Structure 1
Amino acid sequence: MSTEQYDAVIVGAGFGGMGSAIQLNRLGYDKIAILDREDDLGGTWHVNRYPGLTVDVPSTTYSYRFEPNPYWSRLYAPGSELKTYAEHVADKYDLRRYMRFNTVVDGARWDDDAQEWLVSLSDGQTLHTRFLILATGYLCQPKKPDIPGIESFTGTVLHAQEWDHSYSLAGKRAAIIGTGSTGVQLIPKLAEDASELTVYQRTPIWVMPKLDFGFGPRAQRLFAKVPATQRMLRVSSDLFMDIMVTLAMWRFRQFRPVNRIAAAIGRLHRFAAIRDRDLRRKLTPSYDFGCKRPTLSNVYYRTFNKPHVHLETAGIDRIEPDGIVATDGTKRVIDTLVLATGFDVWESNLPAIEVIGREGRDLGKWWRENRFQAYEGLTVPLFPNMLSQASPYAWVGMSWFDTVEYQMRHMERLFGEMQRTGARTFEVTEEANARFLDRMLTLLDDSVFLLGNCANSRSYWFNSSGEAPLFRPTTVRQAVKEQQHFPLSDYALA
């Protein structure tokens, strides 16, 4: 039984957790523990190592504004460079000294008498901390498909989040389940090696053309020596992403034509790549653009023109020891099964661990019984001194860094006020939380989620109740600005 005392315990060593640690350091807190169940830092960019992994947001935007990286090799950098960038951030800001890997957090409970959080680890230790920060991300719990017979398969199973690079698909008959953004990146790579590749698609995805280009040594030297040049490129990518998301998704009622134009670009991209009308029909989404996360690729559609690549849309009835049987009775004999079935956002995540606040309130249970909600996407009533980064209405824009950095601004103002007044605890008021939730719901009334045709999207952006409480339906600029102006009276400080 440990009695270690911390200023803050951060659960998760990805970009969110590192951003929080950097802000805590700036505020003068140094007794910090960053806990992660994996064996190294980087979060999803450490876990995901599958072939073809890249960012689907421009690298200039997918990075901290305060720590630009002049050495991206491309506008859409490969995943290995994100891992390298994470290591650079950890080293530059001296964050490794806080990190504990291979450390599983079972749960956390608020001790009202001691005014601190008790964080329970799977090895039996209990850490005591003044502040608790949940930085586990939205996509931290891989979803394994519940398909009859999957355990009976005698071939090799490869998970996108647990890729085995020592295994060669050369000459193999392979099948992949899943055509989300991970599948879109994986499938062209699998087709390069496998002798036969069958793609099992449940829901088509909107795939947009990818305007990608490399940054050669000359451009990298320019970015390093004259940072303003890279900032100009970032302003362009930031502005484009923010405008498109805002108009096509959040202001769907007022700017429906923008959504239609985006969909038309996707249709034209598909038409240019695939001339087979029946195949094109199978790859065409039956829901509006923006209902489900779109992705970018210039090679995904063209892969299906290859004679050894097959698209199955009938659905899977069962998996047998040597292959997959579709619902129409057809069977594909395979050697290798690739699972790209995404993440479980709603059942085993939000929150990723058990969290018990004041009056015994269980965060996960309370969210599911009283709607998903969090003030400014960060704090929850009856959970003092707790920040939850991957929370309802937190995700703004398309880059996770936009969310992390506006939350860092919130921390700066909130913790600064605590230090000014000498308070030991903060807790958002019920009134402030309810007001914020009402505002988010009102804004969503204009969104594609409420007004568009999303019924067939099967998007992880929707929970089992049909609500879409992940996103903060505002511009990134507005989210950042509000962190400078939220009423400090929205928090009870003591």
Structure 2
Amino acid sequence: MKTTHQVIIIGAGFGGLGMAIRLKEQGQDDLLIIEKAEDVGGCWRDNTYPGAACDVPSHLYSYSFERHYPWSRRFAPQKEIFAYQQYCAKKYDIYRHIRFKTEVAEARYQDDSRTWQVTLTNGETLSCKALITATGQLNQPAYPPLSGIDDFQGTHFHSARWNHEVDLTGKTVAVVGTGASAIQFVPEVAKVAGKLMLFQRSAAHVIAKPDRAYSGLEHQVLKRLPITQTLDRARIYAANESRALGFTSLQQAMKLYEWLFKRHLNKQISDPALREKLTPDYPMGCKRILMSNDYYPALARPNVEVINHGISSVDQNGLTDSTGTHHQADVIIYGTGFQATDFLTPMTIIGRQGQDLNDAWKDGAEAYLGMTVHGFPNLFMLYGPNTNLGHNSIIYMLESQIHYIRQCLAAMEEQTFQALEVQANIQSQFNDDVQRKIRGTVWDKGCHSWYKTESGKNTNNWPGFTFDYRRLTRQVNWSDYELVR
């Protein structure tokens, strides 16, 4: 088996697949994708919990080069998005480039040969000229740091590692967390559980989801006139993009969404006490705004209890909340999100002159344009620091990054240079500007979210329009880099 490649990509989700497809179009066939799981898909392969679906309309949550796909609904369910990724991998002949059930332990830059040495968890080593990480921000489940969490004698699992063998019918189920995953699976679990206890540390802003199935006539029109899907994609993009103003420079615009939230809550929850529990105490948009039509009705069911206290500990039989009250449970489901600020974990990345990326990022992850880091030549990141969105499709951001990285790799292929490394002052200036802009956004208005590190630095979100990011990544400014010819 070949051990030396021009390009190695880590991860076969939307980022890794898109990168490989575009590189093959460019004539680059000497590439390898390393994937720890058994198939492509990333978070859309892993998150198989009941009710899993996207909150970006399907016509926009797709590649620009593969936009004409027969989506069944306005917001695609998980199985359909996963099938779309498999379809793209097959159509563009990507499967033969992937090594499945393979995990990276360490990647180390070789100063003498200007290559990356990639060590797998089985001890095998590979090498490449360019290393691209496409591991995403939502791949390592986060469990709350609770004492006794492993003492529980019943079944317990994270929503991103759903245990489908467990029958929840009639069981007393404790759900910890009220994020984007929980609002989708809680309604499904509530239908079958004998009792569902929802532990929320802080309430979420939930608005109605304008979802529906596409009719047979619509499918015919979309198939015969593909331009209609393209136009709908553009319409969705423009509508979503306008929401960036509410997060950043025109936060008064959030008042419309606050009104939509309150109307949705008041319409679906009649009990004043429950309504008060479900009203957040932070500005709208500070945490991710969620969409659901069945979350609030599920919480109003007689078999569901919303517990507005944190959890202090777990024991063999259940959980004890912060008031000292013990709650017995048969099953505990953790809907507690991901280690989103721990980029590239658990891999070790060692750059030029033995520099550890964890040390470089000890004050919080940062990268130039979210893609390149000083001290780590020929290392590129997809969906890296400060490229997450709160208002639009992440695939648009990924395609901007893919286009930029393609330019870098094409120049290397043409032997214009052997290595490129972003200059330290360029990276610092860019990240100082990003953090300055974030300080004026709604994300910095006093809530604790997965966008931030423990110290409070927002390492995840892009503080502006996606078309601004695309403008910045359209053409590589070679003077930003130290080029080794």
TM over 0.5: yes
Deviation at 1:23, TM superposition (A): 2.1
Q: Distance in 2 between matches of 1:430 and 1:25?
A: 32
Does residue 1:300 correspond to 2:300, yes or no? Answer: no
Confirm or deny: 8 A CA contact 2:190 2:298 kept in the other structure.
Answer: yes
Shift of 1:269: 1.1
Counterpart residue type for residue 43 of structure 2: T
**Cα deviations across residues 450-477 of structure 1 (Å, max 9, x unaligned)?**
4xx3x2x320001122121212222111
Secondary structure in 2 aligned to 1:102?
coil
User: Counterpart of 2:455?
Assistant: 465
- What CA distance in whole angstroms lies between the structure 2 residues aligned with 1:288 and 1:367? 29
Residue 170 of structure 1 is matched in structure 2 by 169
What does residue 122 of structure 1 align with? Answer: 121
1:374 aligns to what? 367
- C-alpha contact (below 8 Å) 2:137/2:341 kept by paired residues: no
Amino acid at match of 1:157: H
Q: 1:400 aligns with which of 370, 376, 394?
A: 394
Q: Distance in 2 between matches of 1:351 and 1:486?
A: 28
Q: Distance in 1 between matches of 2:388 and 2:148?
A: 37
Matched, 1:264 2:259: yes
State the Cα distance separating 1:148 from its structure 2 match. Answer: 2.2
Equivalence for 1:21: 20
Which deviates more, 23-32 or 119-128? Answer: 23-32
Partner of 1:292, secondary structure, is: coil
Deviation at 1:352, TM superposition (A): 4.3
Is 2:190 aligned against 1:197?
no
Q: Kindly provide the amino acid, as one letter, of the partner of residue 131 in structure 1.
A: A
Partner of 1:66: 65
1:317 and 2:312 equivalent?
yes
Report the counterpart of residue 328 of structure 2 in structure 1: 333
Which amino acid is the alignment partner of residue 373 of structure 2? V
Choose 143-152 or 183-192, whichever is displaced more.
Answer: 143-152
Equivalences for 1:145-184 in 2 at 5 Å?
145-184=144-183
Report deviation, 1:317: 2.8
| AA in 2 matched with 1:90 | A
Corresponding residue number in structure 2 for 1:247: 245
Superposition deviation, residue 374 in structure 1: 0.9
Following superposition, the deviation at residue 188 of structure 1 comes to 0.4
TM-score normalized with structure 2 length: 0.95
Cα distance in 2 for residues equivalent to 1:310 and 1:373: 41
Q: Which secondary structure does the structure 2 equivalent of 1:151 belong to?
A: coil
| 2:411 is aligned with 1:411 | no
Q: 1:209 maps to what in 2? A: 208
Contact map agreement 2:141 2:158 (CA 8 A) in 1? no
Give a deviation string over 1:299-349, Cα, whole Å, max 9, x none: 1111121111001112223223222222323333221111111111234x3
Cα offset, 1:441, TM superposition? 2.6
Structure 1 counterpart of 2:329, which letter? I
- Structure 2 residue 50 is the aligned partner of structure 1 residue 51: yes
Of the three residues 361, 381, 386, the one matched with 2:379 is 386
Amino acid at match of 1:250: T
Q: What is the 5 A alignment of 1:226-237?
A: 226-237=225-236
CA distance in 2, matches of 1:468, 1:329: 33
Q: Is the CA contact (8 Å cut-off) linking 2:423 and 2:480 kept in structure 1? A: yes
Tell me which of 459, 469, 492 is aligned to 2:482.
492
Deviates more, 1:16-25 or 1:314-323: 314-323
TM-score (norm 1): 0.94
8 Å contact 2:408–2:476 — kept in the other structure? no
State how many pairs are aligned. 483
Q: CA deviation at 1:122?
A: 0.7
| 1:96 Cα offset (Å) | 0.3
8 Å CA contact retained: 1:203, 1:458: no
The CA deviation string for residues 174-198 of structure 1, in whole angstroms up to 9 with x for no partner, is 1111110110001100000001111
Q: In the TM superposition, what is the alpha-carbon distance from 1:20 to its structure 2 partner?
A: 1.2
Q: Secondary structure at the match of 2:242?
A: helix
How far apart are residue 406 of structure 1 and its match? 0.5
Q: Give % identity.
A: 33
- Measure the CA separation in 2 of the matches of 1:283 and 1:420: 58
Alpha-carbon displacement from aligned partner over 1:174-230 (angstroms, at most 9, x marks no partner) = 111111011000110000000111111111111111111111333223222221100
State the Cα distance separating 1:420 from its structure 2 match. Answer: 4.9
Offset from partner CA, 1:415-438 (integer Å, 9 cap, x none): 334445632222112232123223
SS at match of 1:150: coil
Q: Distance in 2 between matches of 1:231 and 1:288?
A: 35
- Residues 3 and 128 of structure 1 are in contact (CA less than 8 Å); yes or no, is this contact kept in structure 2? no
Distance 1:224 1:173 in 2: 47
- CA offset digits 1:4-43 (Å, max 9, x no partner): 1101111101111111112221222211111111111100
Amino acid at match of 1:425: A
Offset of 1:485 from its aligned partner? 4.0
- 1:422 corresponds to: 416
Letter in 2 for 1:385: N
Question: Which residue number in structure 2 is paired with residue 481 of structure 1?
Answer: 471
CA distance in 2, matches of 1:100, 1:307: 49
Q: Are 2:171 and 2:331, in contact at CA under 8 Å, matched by a contact in 1? A: yes
Letter of the 1:249 partner, please give it: F
RMSD across aligned C-alpha pairs, in angstroms? 1.7
